[in-house]
Amino acid sequence: MMDPCAHCEEMMQPYLDHVLTDEEMEAAAAHLAECEKCRRRYKFEESLRIYVRKAADEQQMPAELRQKLAALRIPLE
Amino acid sequence: MAAAGTVDRMEAEPEEAQRLATEARDRVRFEEDALALSEQVYRVARHLAGSREEADDLVQETYARAFRSWRSFQPGTNMRAWLLRILTNLNIDRGRRQQRAPQMQPLEANDYYLYDRLSEDGDGISDEQRVVERLSQDDIVTALSAVPHDFRDVLVLVDLGDFSYADAAQILDIPVGTVMSRLHRGRRILKRELAESALEEAT
């Protein structure tokens, strides 16, 4: 029998992507309910994903590029 | 047209004019829809490309090509995915991506590596959110750009661009299973890169 925490680590990415089957989901949730260590790690992963997305979104499109793109439009005859 | 047989030349011309007018209207609408997505396309492009300049070029080339081949877009399908498919193909065609030798496979750590590294020197920090915030925005942008292209493409499309596994598979023209395995590995590589930059800062 695999160490439940190691198994839980394997389930983390699919769990957070919502692609586990119902049984897998229940098994993971049951372990998380009783294991604080795994719970914290899942929570960290979730926060990290949100944080990475936020940092990446800060890279805004330059205003000149917007104008250049509009200028690429094909003029009407 | 039911009455086509009775249409004489006088009426055929306005019909042609009508067709052209409809086409012009469809094209203008296409261009406007595409431009409305440019901010979202840029955000993904920015992290697919190696630099701001490359992202800038890629987005311009993508739009130039999209405007020329607008007829091949199927109305009602996902235009953002269509634009990004053009963009990722251009990115590959430009030869910006080097083939990695097998011995240069990126190092990845287990899924908990970053958390363990960030929390071990933490003064018993209990809030996972605060642990994450030890990373700076620059750390994240730099770490993303250090992830090798094959993994980064998938990571950026799914985790930053919100595409489904299936959409990412279509955009990159790879099987869904490959999307999943590259995504999982890409996330681990990213966490390793982040752990490294966090450790460098600490020393």
pLDDT in tens, B136-193: 888 898 899 889 989 999 999 999 999 999 999 999 999 999 999 999 999 999 999 9
CA-nearest residue to A62 within chain B is: B56
What is the average per-residue pLDDT within A50-71? Answer: 92
pLDDT of B11: 60
Cβ separation of A76 and B28 shorter than 8 Å?
yes
Residues of A in contact with B68 (CB under 8 A): 74
Confidence of residue B199 (pLDDT cuts 50, 70, 90): confident
| pLDDT for residue A73 is more than 90 | yes
Cβ separation of B56 and A62 shorter than 8 Å?
yes
Q: Round to whole Å and give the CA distance between B113 and B192.
A: 7
Token look-up 């409305």 returns B36
pLDDT of B94: 74
Confidence of residue A61 (pLDDT cuts 50, 70, 90): very high
Q: Round to whole Å and give the CA distance between A45 and B168.
A: 22
What structural domains and CATH numbers belong to chain B? 12-93 (1.10.1740.10), 108-202 (1.10.10.10)
Nearest to B132 among A13, A48, A60 (CB): A48
What is the average per-residue pLDDT within A57-61? Answer: 87
Residues of B in contact with A6 (CB under 8 A): none
Residues of B in contact with A67 (CB under 8 A): none
Q: State the pTM of this model.
A: 0.84
What torsion, rounded to 10 degrees, do the Cα atoms B7, B9, B10, B12 define? 70
Q: Is A12 on the interface with B (CB under 8 A)?
A: yes
Q: Round to whole Å and give the CA distance between B155 and B181.
A: 11
Q: Round to whole Å and give the CA distance between B70 and B19.
A: 17
> How close does chain B come to A12, measured CA to CA in Å?
8
Confidence of residue B99 (pLDDT cuts 50, 70, 90): very low
Q: Which of A22-31, A48-57, B96-105 has the highest mean pLDDT?
A: A22-31
Structure-model confidence comparison of residues B8 and A60, the more confident one: A60
CA-nearest residue to B67 within chain A is: A73
